[in-house]
Amino acid sequence: MLINQRMFINWEVRSMRAITIHGYGDPDVLEEQEVTEPAFNDNQVLVEVVATSVNPVDSNIRAGLVQEVFPVHQFPHILGLDLAGVVKEVGAAVKHVKRGDRVFGLGSSGTYAEYAVAEGTQIAKLSSNLSFNEAGALPAVALTAWHSLFRYGELKEGERVLIHGGAGGVGHIAIQMAKLTGAHVIATASSRNHEFIRQLGADEVIDYTAVDFSAVVRDVDMVLDFIVGLEQERNCKVLKKGGRVVSIVTPDIADITRAYDVNGKFVIVDPKREELEQIHEWMQDQRLKVHISDIFPLSEAALRMAHTQIETKHTRGKLGIQIRE
């Protein structure tokens, strides 16, 4: 294969601290080591990462549970999607940011590291009145909620939406976004999280540990399916005729829902800078807030603990990682 070497900017080889995996396994495979700072091309930027976060997909990748969707092509591998930090270097084709700018978005190299590469199209400027920690916890969940509600779900004002996992990372952001649109929000959560999601704006709350939601909910326009293993028949049962199930966990959702005269859509997030800029505007106006349950340092022991916690599937909001002050 021919490689256009001019696309890559050559800088002196520099090392950085990162948390890596050398193979699939439990949280103990997370290891701290010195690795080479990533190279970037004309369409990318190199970011000095101040904060990132742990997402459930990180632990699924680490455990080898999603190899068909998120294969690891080479070990050692650095996990992590989110980033907030300061631009260190800028590719020639990137015009909307410059060295020294505060930014947030998604990394294209792993972000459990002191430096990460990001596509220019997947970062936005971060204002000085927003913290790196909150910005570093938000991109993946906010973009997933955005695409689920608006690009795939086409949510409209006045519609009724059922959001599963309302207290989780994506769920607690989706509740707020749906309310900003003027939707009526029904959310599922354990009883200990009911007050939390009511404060986020949920109109109705269902304790999934005590009540079968499909027995008490009817005539919703959309169901957001964020829970692995949920029976899709129950989701279809609560929908209006022609309603839609929007899923981030069930790739064959369209085939499953067809028999129930409702629509199924599987979400593939293809983020745009404009979406990050709208999310940033809502954050600035305090109309959208990310809840961070705990913040961990970039260390082997801390990240093993964070992955163990995220795998309980009972984390309220997000788990942050602070890499530098």
| CATH class held by domain 141-266 | alpha beta
Rounded to 5 degrees, φ, ψ at 205 are -130, 135
pLDDT tens profile 125-145: 999 999 999 999 999 999 999
**All CATH 3.40.50.720 domain ranges in the chain, comma separated:** 141-266
Tell me if residue 68 falls in helix, strand or coil. coil
Q: Looking at the DSSP assignment, which residues form a beta bridge with residue 52?
A: 321
CB 174 within 8 A of CB 145: yes
Q: Where are the CATH 3.90.180.10 domain residues in the chain? A: 5-138+290-322
pLDDT digits (tens, 9 = 90+) for 90-116: 999 999 999 999 999 999 999 999 999
Q: What DSSP string runs through 182-226?
A: T-EEEEEE-GGGHHHHHHHT-SEEEETTTS-HHHH---EEEEEE-
Q: 26: left (phi > 0), else alpha (psi -120 to 50), else beta?
A: beta
**pTM over cut 0.85:** yes
Mean pLDDT of the chain: 94
pLDDT band at 12 (very low <50, low <70, confident <90, very high): low
Question: 3-state DSSP helix/strand/coil percent for the chain, to nearest 5?
Answer: 30, 30, 40
34, β-bridge pairs: 17
Q: Which CATH class is domain 5-138+290-322?
A: alpha beta
* Largest pairwise CA distance in the chain: 63
